[in-house]
Structure 1
Amino acid sequence: MQNLTLKRAENLYIKVKRWLLGMHGTDGFLVKVLIYGLLIGIGFVYLYPIIYLGVYSFKTLDDILNPLVNWIPTTFYVGNYERAIQVLDFIPTLLETLYVTVLPSIVQTAIAAVIGYGLARFDFPFKKTIFALVLATFIIPAPVTLIPRYIFFNELNILGSLNAFLLPAVTGQGLNSAIFILIFYQFFKALPKALEEAAQIDGAGHLRIFLTIAIPMAVPSFIISFLFSFVWYWNETYLASIYFGNALSTLPLELEKFVATYQKMFPVGMEMSGNQINEAIRLAGTLLSILPLLIVYFITQRWFVEGVDRSGITGE
């Protein structure tokens, strides 16, 4: 009888342990709680700023001043966005931003693929030295080369135009181009040489091999490189303000001078009520400036995740 009781207690202990901790590769209750709790916590850290922007950008001035109104506005006020759209000159500035970001991103991705393929599949003198110099362009801070590059661009008379972004991209010196070259280098280095040898037996040259074999297999690397390049060019305000001046503008640049532009367009002395700039209007302008990036991410999310998984890139 005592042995039977001990056996039942042992079986109960095993069942409880299996349920809490899991056994034989299955996750128990405590493990699942830990994993999901960690994921929810990390997700909240990333989503909190977006939620905050979205909620507070719809608040009226009365809701902002009312301490009882916290996360749920009394009414969804779209007047903040109307003001922000006027201040940012949203549609023309958005088109100009796409012009400044998409073209350099495409050029930079294409050139990085060519350079990465050349370094990965061909042997030539000083190859390691050239590869080291390519990586050094990422290690050296941009402000170190800013003045010489500015003088050089001024002599070429390309300041104030998109060529100030396109020329470095064409020569493999765009924003963080070394990272993209390394991505393509790693991918093309892993391709089996048997594929090239079979194509060469069939009479294909190096260019045809690159276009018909290497590029289709490197689609994940192209997706990753283009999306990262797009985001970096979009968020670049330091170089854009120096190279473009007043000739070209982007949404992040307009956001930097949002308060000053608002005060010029809507002086406090005007008879319109609620004319002063407030937090809700600033947050509406901020959300408008990042909204295109969010839309791009939601559209390309599936290809982005697939590209990260297949190319083994963790991002920055």
Structure 2
Amino acid sequence: MWKRQTMDTAIKIRKLMFGMGENDGYVFKALVYLLLIAIGFVYLYPVLFMLVNSFMSLDDLLNSMIKWVPSTLYIENYTKSWRVLDYGNTLMQTILVAGLPALLQTISCGIIGYGFAKFEFPFKKLLFLLMLATFIIPSQITMMPTYLLFKKYALLGSLETFIYPALLGQGLKSALFILIFYQFFKTIPTVLEEAAEIDGAGSFKIFYRIAVPMSVPAIIIVFLFSFVWYWNETYLAGLYFGNELTILPLELQRFTDSYNKVYPPGSPGSQLNEAVRLAGTLLTIVPLLILYFVLQRWFVEGVERSGITGE
């Protein structure tokens, strides 16, 4: 009897620690949590380092005893970065440069993806492969022909250099976004469309009354990715816009030159240090973090339903 109780106790302990069947034990869960914490720390460490050091004064930066907790919250770094970046004006321009093309790209890619998913037409597979090939071709190859085309039609220095490609389904990473919509629209049951056709709905009405409301997660994920890519596109922005338009990442690249203009050498507060740079970097990414936290729930749902993970 005593041996049987001992064996039952050992089995229970083993079941709790290592699991049995489909249940995971504490050891497995602990390893998973440790792995997730380690991966999360790797991603969060640069942000935490940037946040902490952006509130440090020059004395704190030079003090080897101070690592993670500043002696005081020195907000002058943000005041300087705000002035150097001309933050209010530059932020509005960045939202316009990233937001309008992202919106137009989402609309155009949605229409193209729906066409590939729901209609049959000659050379459909060939056109689909050519569309996907545009994602493989490096942008450096098409950059100069596109620049010369914009120059010929006097579009340089305006937002139209981003608007027209986005409107025609040729914006940044458009092939990927078309593929996301294509995969999503393929999951919509054909029965719904057939029922709408019986009720007298045409193709356009079926698209905006059935397909669009059901594809909200895909729309959000495409818009979010497109917005971020346009936000961070400094090379094409510098090439096409010149001095007419600017964006925050572009101004961050010019931070040292802009700082020397706002605070000439020899003037009070003219010494540029790492804390001011980090404050400027944080001001640049804060709008994207806010956007992600607002759309996080729909973003995760969109990733799962659009099949962007390859599942």
TM-score by length of 2: 0.97
The letter of the residue matching 1:255 is L
Counterpart Cα distance in 1 of 2:291 and 2:133: 31
- Structure 2 CA distance for aligned equivalents of residues 11 and 217 of structure 1: 52
Counterpart in the other structure of 1:166: 163
Distance 2:265 2:302 in 1: 50
* Residue 304 (1) aligns with residue 299 (2): yes
Structure 2 match to 1:292: 287
Aligned partner of 1:51 in structure 2 is: 48
SS in structure 1 of the partner of residue 197 of structure 2: helix
Q: CA deviation at 1:313?
A: 2.4
**CA displacement 1:142-166 (0-9 Å, x = unmatched):** 0011111111111111111010001
Inter-partner Cα distance in structure 2 for 1:29 and 1:214: 44
Secondary structure of the corresponding residue to residue 313 of structure 1: coil
State the partner residue of 2:230.
233
Structure 2: runs of 5 or more not aligned: none
2:133 to 130, 136, 139: 136
Q: Distance in 2 between matches of 1:299 and 1:201?
A: 39
CA distance in 2, matches of 1:50, 1:19: 37
Q: Which residue of 2 aligns with 1:313?
A: 308
Which runs of 4 or more aligned residues in structure 1 lie more than 4 Å from their structure 2 counterparts after TM superposition? none
Distance 2:190 2:9 in 1: 58
Distance 1:309 1:222 in 2: 13
Aligned length: 310
Matched residue, 1:17: 14
**How far has the Cα of 1:169 moved from its partner?**
0.6
SS of 1:12's equivalent in the other structure is helix
Q: How does 1:63-142 map to 2 (within 5 A)?
A: 63-142=60-139
Summarize deviations over 1:107-165 as a string: whole Å, max 9, x none.
Answer: 00000000011111111111111111110110000001111111111111111101000
Shift of residue 312 of structure 1?
A: 2.7
Q: Secondary structure at the match of 2:295?
A: helix
How much does 1:5 deviate? 4.4
Do residues 183 (structure 1) and 180 (structure 2) align? yes
**Partner Cα distance (1:263, 1:169) in 2:** 37
State the distance in 1 between where 2:289 and 2:180 align.
24
Instruction: Tell me the secondary structure at the aligned position of residue 212 of structure 1.
Output: helix
How far residue 104 of structure 1 moved from its aligned partner, in angstroms, is 0.2
Task: Determine the C-alpha separation between the residues in 2 that align with 1:19 and 1:84.
Answer: 54
Q: Deviations over 1:244-292 (max 9, x none)?
A: 111100000000010111122212212x2x4210000000000000010
**Which deviates further from its counterpart, 38-47 or 10-19?**
10-19
Structure 1: gaps (5+ residues): none
Superimposed CA distance per residue, residues 220-257 of structure 1 (whole angstroms, 9 cap, x where no aligned partner): 11011000001110011011110111110000000001
Amino acid at match of 1:224: I
**What is the distance in 1 between the residues matched to 2:12 and 2:129?**
58
User: Is the Cα contact below 8 Å between 2:55 and 2:275 reproduced in 1?
Assistant: yes
Q: Which residue number corresponds to residue 6 of structure 1?
A: 3
The 2-side partners of 1:116 and 1:25 are apart by 39
Corresponding residue for 2:146?
149
2:221 aligned partner, one-letter code:
I
8 Å Cα contact 2:260-2:270 kept in structure 1: no
- For residue 296 of structure 1, report the CA deviation from its aligned partner: 0.6
Specify which of 262, 271, 275 is matched with residue 280 of structure 1.
Answer: 275
Instruction: Name 2:31's counterpart in structure 1.
Output: 34
- Larger mean CA deviation between 45-54 and 283-292 belongs to 45-54
Distance 1:83 1:178 in 2: 41
User: Normalised by the size of structure 1, how large is the TM-score?
Assistant: 0.95
Distance 1:32 1:121 in 2: 44
Distance 2:115 2:141 in 1: 28
SS in 2 for 1:71: coil
Q: Secondary structure at the match of 2:73?
A: coil
RMSD over aligned CA atoms reads 1.2
Of 257-266 and 280-289, the range deviating more from structure 2: 257-266
Aligned partner of 1:249: which letter? Answer: T
